[in-house]
Amino acid sequence: MGIKKIGVIGHANKGHVVENIARLFDWAKAKGLELLLEKEVAAKLGSQGYHGDELGALADLVVTMGGDGTLLQAARLMRKSDVPILGVNMGTFGYLTVINLNEMFDALAAVLAGDYRTEQRMMLDVAVHDERGESFECTVLNDAVINRGNYSRMVDLETVVDGQYLTTYRADGLIISTPTGSTAYSLSAGGPIVFPVSNTIILNPICPHTLTNRPVILPETAVLKVVLWTREAGAILSCDGQVTYNLKPGDAISVCKSDCVTNLIVSPRRDYLQILRSKLGWGGSPTVVNRK
C-alpha cells in the first residue's frame, strides 16, 4: 500500500517553518496526497489540525520540520505507532533531522517511490511513583536526566541494576541514555558515542565526586532503579530535555527498555559515519601515513 496521507509536525512559532509547511502543502496537493497537520501548525495556517497520537494513527508517513527537538517531540507523541518519521532539518545542528530543507522534496519523492530505508531506534520507559501517591510516566528517544537543578549541592543517587546494588552516585546528576541519545547531553558529559541502531542503555554521571565513576554501558534487558537521597529540597527529572518532573527526597525512578520504538527514515546520501564527521568537525578526506 502506497503513501496517501502525510502527517506534519513543526515548530509553529517559527515563521520560516510555517512558510515551508505551506510549500509542502501545495506540493502534496499537486500530487494528490492528503496533508494532516498537527494542531498548533494547523492553527497558523487556518486549517484543521490533529493531535500527535491522531497523526500516528491516520498518517502513512510523518514529516517533522524543525530541529532534533521537534523530532523528539514527535517520537514521544507517536510512540504507540510504527509510522516512519522523516526529519527535515531547519535548524543549525541535527543528528536526527538529517534531511536538509533543500533536499526535502527530492527525499519525499524517493519515499513515495519506495526508495528509502528506515532505522528502528530503541526508546526508554521512565516512571516515578512516590509515597505521596503521585506518579509520572514518560517514554524517551534520547535520555532521562536527573540533575540538581538550581540546588547548590550535589545529589546522592542510589543506583540498582536488575535488583543488584551498583553504587550511590554523588554528583551533579545522572544521564540515562539510549544509543540515539549518546550524541546528545551524554556526549557533552564525557559519554561514549554508540551506534544508534545498537540496543544498549548508557549510564553516565554528571561531574561525579568520585572520579572513578565512569560511564557504564548496560544491556538492553537491564532494569534500573535510581533513588534520590539528598538533604536539599530535591532534584529535577528531565525527559528528552522537554518534559520535566520535580523529584523529592526518597523518590524512586525506574527506567527500562520500552516496547515502543521510533522508525526513522535515514538519509540516502549520508551514512552515520559521514554525519558524525560533519557534526563533530572531524575533517573530510583520510590522511595517508608513510610507515617506511
Give yes or no for a contact between 227 and 157, defined as CB atoms under 8 angstroms apart. Answer: yes
- In terms of average pLDDT, the best of 12-16, 48-52, 76-80, 222-226 is 222-226
Kindly list the structural domains of the chain, giving each domain's residue range(s) and its CATH number in brackets, ordered by start.
5-117+266-280 (3.40.50.10330), 124-259 (2.60.200.30)
Provide mean pLDDT across the span 148-170. 92
HEC-encoded secondary structure of the chain: CCCCEEEEEECCCCHHHHHHHHHHHHHHHHCCCEEEEEHHHHHHHCCCEECHHHHHHHCCEEEEEECHHHHHHHHHHCCCCCCCEEEEECCCCCCCCCEEHHHHHHHHHHHHCCCCCEEEEEEEEEEEECCCCCEEEEEECCEEEEECCCCCCCEEEEEEECCEEEEEEEECEEEEECCHHHHCHHHHCCCCCCCCCCCEEEEEEECCCCCCCCCEEEECCCEEEEEEECCCCCEEEEECCCEEEEECCCCEEEEEEEEEEEEEECCCCCCHHHHHHHHHCCCCCCCCCCCC
With bands split at pLDDT 50, 70 and 90, how would you rate the model's confidence at 165? very high
How do strand 252-265 and strand 118-129 relate by DSSP bridges?
antiparallel
Please give the Cα distance from 168 to 177 (Å, whole number): 18
Q: Has residue 285 got a pLDDT over 70?
A: no
How do strand 164-171 and strand 252-265 relate by DSSP bridges?
unpaired
With bands split at pLDDT 50, 70 and 90, how would you rate the model's confidence at 79? very high
- Cα 220 to Cα 8, 57, 202, 233: the distances in Å are 31, 28, 10, 33
Handedness of CA 276, 280, 281, 286 (dihedral sign): negative
**Which has more pLDDT, 52 or 178?**
178
- Active-site annotation, residues: 68
Q: For the packed helices 15-30 and 104-112, what is the interaxial angle rounded to 10 degrees?
A: 40
Write down the pLDDT at residue 185: 96
With bands split at pLDDT 50, 70 and 90, how would you rate the model's confidence at 267? confident
Write down the pLDDT at residue 272: 83
With bands split at pLDDT 50, 70 and 90, how would you rate the model's confidence at 74? very high
Write down the pLDDT at residue 34: 95
Convert the pLDDT of each residue in 112-131 to its tens digit: 999 999 999 999 999 998 77
Q: CA torsion, points 78, 84, 87, 93, in degrees to nearest 10?
A: 80
C-alpha triplet 92, 111, 123: angle, nearest 5°: 60
Provide mean pLDDT across the span 162-172. 97
Please give the Cα distance from 128 to 227 (Å, whole number): 10
Q: Has residue 91 got a pLDDT over 80?
A: no
**Which has more pLDDT, 43 or 290?**
43
